[in-house]
Chain A
Amino acid sequence: MTQIQRGDLVLDIKNLVANVAGRNILKGLDLTVRAGEVHAIMGPNGAGKSTLAQILAGRPDYEIKSGTVTYLDEDLLALAPEERARRGVFLGFQYPVEIPGVNNVYLLKAALNARRRQAGLQEVDAFEFMAIIREKMKLMKMDESFLKRGVNEGFSGGEKKRNEILQMTVLEPTLAILDETDSGLDIDALKVVSTGVNSLRQDDRAIILVTHYQRLLDYIVPDYVHVLAGGRIVRSGDRTLALELEERGYDWLVEGSSAA
């Protein structure tokens, strides 16, 4: 695996058109994300933000009508979800599913080793893994009981989101897509989650934050802010765009989009 440098192209989406259950959700979306960057994708409800996140992770319920998605010189859409994960694509779910009976730690160890195998690295054993996870749990302020529990089993909304970020810090993805990670978090949990995400801001990694609210961006300051409305990116800018959105809402952009 060649070393990824700051500024390398990580994700290049061109004219993506996608349907869900016969309904056209993405209508020609373009987005370019480079290593070292944090992009925030904002927009009104129903604009297609979560659809984009799910398509990038490979959920099968979406029908790609046209367009291309290139991830590190590969056709991302041709890869199965598990192949994407092993190549460093990570989706932090908006609604992480509970899987009773499947232990958190075993899953995360298997996930890490699947990624390491793909990268040609040696698998970590149980002992090495426990050292890694204990360190990351400290960062995410998660207590020991987590080690014994089923995946998200009986977790509160905040715990589930924290668990997603914990997984991300262990898996060290090349492209992290965090879907509404801030929703349902109180201010303390938001700070913890942000600390976890910020710890991963590095030159060889890109992060896409999908969010409805500006609030998260006070803690994870993005390099770029995009507004997704009506199935495409209708405006891109820097951090100040998010502040403007907070003040003015989305209507002025959505109207512009439908007129376009």
Chain B
Amino acid sequence: MSARLSPALTRVRALLADALSPTRLDTLDRLIALGLPTPRDDAFRYTNLRLLDRRDLAPAAAGSNTTTTLPADLPIGADRLVFLNGHFDVALSRLPATLRVETAPRTTCDAGSISAVDRIRLLNTALSGTHTTVVVPRNTQVSLDLIALSTVGCGYPSLTFQVESGAQLHVIEQHTGADEVESLTAAVIDFELQDGAIADHTLLQVAGNRAVVIGDVRAHVGRDATYRHRSAALGAQLSRFDVTVHLNAAGASTALSGLFLADSTREHHLRTLIHHAAPDCPSDQLYRGVASGRGRGSYDGKVIVDAGANGTNSAQSSKNLLLSPDASIETRPQLEINAHAVKCSHGATTGSLDENMLFYLLSRGLDRDTARAVLTYAFLGDVLKGFTPAIRAFVEARALGRLPAADRIREFVA
């Protein structure tokens, strides 16, 4: 396959040729040779990154912004790890003493054969200044907010969470920024879960209206360890998240859930890959997408069950709602099963609001806008229930703001 020349990559290379280290320049050249992923790459069949062509991809310099406060409306706990325009910001962060945090210069990308998603990783490696490793020591519990705040240009956060055996990490990742900033965030976040560890990862994408947010999340889950992931994509011009979970040892488990609301001309894309590499691992996926206006979205979810991964129990549900004739959502659940004795289910639907439900509400005196908003809100209910009460309130407030007749359906919100 011939690579599509990316003008943005060529520009950033010319700009940074003298500033980047030889290894990073080499990484950038590898990416230029391969090109950014396009819809011709199967993993990106629903996501077109063409709008990056016109953008300036150069990373914001560390300290290029003097922001000293975080947006007041974020649901933030006591401890937090803040990336300001892609750079770990010590001043804005507040870290619990139990946590070990190491930052190191980014050197190489170790990927052997480069998949389409790996190319996002190459971009991050080439342009991210440092890599941060957060270690949650054995048998400790940590709750942490991970905030990616974009105030200028582009940020390339790069982070690994090592959760040692028996430890628990609750992390709330938030992508946020002002509406007028044409920012790009390409984040790479890895979770390494040792035996019996738990990582509970909430991902809130509430970036500004002109932002592009790309996230590559990979979790390696050890024996009897659990990776939980809940997401809400509400902001940005375009967002795309790849969530890859490797269930590497017996008893490892994962549960992914998420919702997106693609109103106006917004695009939200999700791709999940759950790799059952060991026996007796459960995995569950629950995704709900809504598109209105000329909004677009996709869910591309794959479950791979290796030979020998007997006792796999995997469920996958993707339901999508189109609120206007110009909105579109693609959904593609895929199963690749190489073992016997497995239980795998998947279901995917895309459709408009149920006319019988709508008529029932109208026949009780609700006006059309309210009835539609109530049904849309109810459609998201299964995913909303999974968030903690504080996060749920935050997501609901943001989600309701994107629905018509929001003020009138508040009385339906339990």
Contact = CB atoms under 8 A, between A and B. Distances in A.
B355 to A, nearest CB: 8
B412 A81 contact: no
B383 to A, nearest CB: 11
Nearest to B380: A101
Given A101-B377, A106-B412, A93 B360 contact: yes
B363 A102 contact: no
Contacts of A205: none
Contacts of A108: 364
Contacts of B368: 80, 82
B320 to A, nearest CB: 16
A96 interface: yes
Interface in A69-105: 80-82, 84-86, 90-91, 93, 96-97, 99-103
Contacts of B5: none
A99 B360 contact: yes
A111 B364 contact: yes
A107 B366 CA distance: 9
B362 A96 contact: no
Contact of B359 (A81, A102, A115, A151): A81
B379 A101 contact: yes
Contacts, number: 81
A151 B358 CA distance: 13
Contacts of B370: 110
A138 interface: no
Contacts of B325: none
The bracket for how many chain B residues form the interface is: 20 to 34
B367 interface: yes
Interface size class of A (residues with CB under 8 A): 20 to 34
A114 B411 CA distance: 13
B365 interface: yes
Contact of B363 (A58, A106, A115, A150): A58
The list of the 8 closest CB pairs from A to B, nearest first, reads A101-B378, A101-B381, A114-B365, A85-B365, A111-B364, A81-B362, A106-B412, A97-B356
25 contacts: A58-B362, A81-B359, A82-B366, A82-B367, A82-B371, A84-B363, A90-B363, A91-B363, A93-B363, A99-B357, A99-B375, A101-B382, A102-B361, A102-B412, A107-B374, A109-B411, A110-B370, A110-B411, A110-B412, A111-B365, A111-B366, A114-B365, A114-B366, A171-B364, A171-B365
Interface of A: 57-60, 80-82, 84-86, 90-91, 93, 96-97, 99-103, 106-111, 114-115, 118, 150-151, 167, 171
